[in-house]
Amino acid sequence: MFCVRTCSGLMGLRAAPRVRSLHSFPGITIDEEVAKLLALKAQIGGDNVKHQFVLKTAKGTRDYNPKQMAIRERVFSTIIGCFKRHGAETIDTPVFELKETLTGKYGEDSKLIYDLKDQGGELLSLRYDLTVPFARYLAMNKITNIKRYHIAKVYRRDNPAMTRGRYREFYQCDFDIAGQYDAMIPDAECLKIVHDILSELDLGDFRIKVNDRRILDGMFAVCGVPDDKFRTICSTVDKLDKMPWEDVRKEMVTEKGLSEEAADQIGEYVSLQGGMELAERLLQDQKMCRSKQACAGLSDIKLLFSYLQLFQVTDKVVFDLSLARGLDYYTGIIYEGVLTQAGVAPGSTEAQNGTPAEESVSVGSVAGGGRYDGLVGMFDPKGRKVPCVGVSIGIERIFSILEQKAEAEVMYKKNPKLLSQLQHCEESGIPLVAILGEQELKDGVVKLRVVASREEVDVSRAALVDEIRRRTSQA
C-alpha cells in the first residue's frame, strides 16, 4: 500500500501547507498529483515491491517433453512416408500472410483468424490453414500441376480443448493434388491416403464420411432455402457432428430465419447414410432430380465409389448427407475421417441401404478435406482456375490419442494419499478420475470425478466404460 507523508515522505512531499497550496493553481487537483506519483512509483519499483510474474504457456498452446516428441516424430514419419509413396514433394510458405489473402475464404470461421498489428504499412494475419497459402503460391508462381505435401503450424482464435487436441497453435499435415485430371481419380487417391494413414497409426476403428457441396446446394434449393442463405445454412448443418438435430433445426429457424417446412425437409435428407446404392436411389428422388447440381454431385459420388472399390477401402467409407464442412472454398467432393465407437460398420448392409445416421458414434475428427477448383483463380489476375483437391490430417488430435495410449504411469508410493493423486491428475491434464474405495465396493459403483470442475458422480460398474467414453467425447 502506498501512502503520502507530510514530512520526509518517499517522493519528497513535505508539509501539509505545501499540499494545500496546490489548490491555488488553476486546473490542478491533489488527486491528479497523487495519481502521477503513483505512476512514477510503479515505474521505479517503490517499496521494493516485485511484480508477480506467472510462468505458463499462452492459452491454447503447450510444450512437448522428450517422450511426447518421440511420439510426434513417429507420427510425422508415418504420414510423410505415406505422402511420399504417393509421389508428393514438399514446399513451405510464410507463417503470416497479407490479411487480404485470407479474408473471405473461411465463411463464419473468418472470425477465428489472428490479425497482427500494422508493421510498417502491411496488414498481416497468421495463417489459418495451409490450403489458402498453397493456392496463393500456385497463382503467384503460375503453377498448374503439382502433387505436394506441407507440414507446418497454423493459428486459430478458437476456444481450446486441450484434452481433445484442440489448440490455438497446432500442426497441419496437408496433401494436395493440383491439375487437370480425369474425374474422381485424384479424389479417390486422397481418400486412400486417409485410409492408409489411419490404419497404419492403429488409432482404433474409424470411418471416412464423404459428400459433395453440389449435392448440399441442390438439396438446399429443392428444400426451399433462399440462395443467399446457402452458405450460412451449410455452416449450421456442419454442426451436426457436435449438436443433436433438434438444436441444429432450432438454429436454422430462430437464428438463420429459415422456414420450419424447409428445415424439416433438410432433416429428412441429412439423416441418411450409405454408399453407391444411396447415390443411385437419390438420383431417382423426385425432389433431388430437379437439381442439375445435385445430380452432377451424385453421379460423381457413384464414380468415386467405383474407384474406392478398386482401392479396397469401401468398408471404411460412407456417403453421409449430413457432412457439410463449413469452409467457403469447397466446390465439389468433401470428406472427413472420424474415429468411432463400436456400432454397425459403415460398409454394412444397413448403412449401404441409406438408413438414418445411427450406425456408429463419432469420438473425434482426425482428417478432412475436399475439392476447391475455384480458390487459385481468386488470386490469379486473369482469374485462371487450377482444379485442386486435398486432405489435411488432424495431427494434434492424433497426438493426444497416442499420448494417452502411451501413458502407464504409477505413483512411486506405497499408500499415496487421494489428494496427492488428484493433484497429480490436475498437473498432468488427466480429465477424469475413477475412485474405488470401501463405500464404492459396498455399493457396487465407481465414483467418477471430473478433474477440472471437481464434479463427482456415482456410476455403476457396468455403465462405467460408456460413461467415460461419453464424457471424453464431450471434453
> Which residues fall in the annotated binding site for L-histidine?
129-131, 156, 172, 176, 325, 329-330
What is the separation of C-alpha 454 from the centre of its chain, rounded to a whole number of angstroms? 26
Strands 317-320 and 333-340: unpaired
Distance CA(172)–CA(81), nearest Å, equals 16
Output the nine-digit C-alpha cell for 284. Answer: 431417382
E-strand stretches of 179-316: 206-212, 273-274
Distance CA(224)–CA(262), nearest Å, equals 5
Closest-CA residue to 10 (of 41, 53, 31, 39): 41
Q: Count the Cβ atoms, other than its own, within 10 Å of residue 407.
A: 10
Q: Are 375 and 329 in contact (CB under 8 A)?
A: yes
Residue with cell 497550496: 21
Amino acid at 162: M
Closest-CA residue to 109 (of 211, 231, 266): 231
**Which residues fall in the annotated binding site?**
129-131, 156, 172, 176, 325, 329-330
Distance CA(342)–CA(362), nearest Å, equals 10
Strand partners, 208: 317, 337
Distance CA(97)–CA(154), nearest Å, equals 11
Q: Count the Cβ atoms, other than its own, within 10 Å of residue 214.
A: 24
Burial of 87 (0-12, 13-18, 19+ CB in 10 A): exposed
Torsion of CA 278, 280, 281, 284, to 10 degrees: 150
Task: Give how far Cα 240 sits from Cα of 155, 235, 248, 252, 325, Å.
Answer: 24, 10, 7, 12, 10
Q: Are 317 and 379 in contact (CB under 8 A)?
A: no
- Percentage helix, strand, coil, to 5, in the chain? 45, 20, 35
Distance CA(42)–CA(72), nearest Å, equals 45
Distance CA(177)–CA(391), nearest Å, equals 9
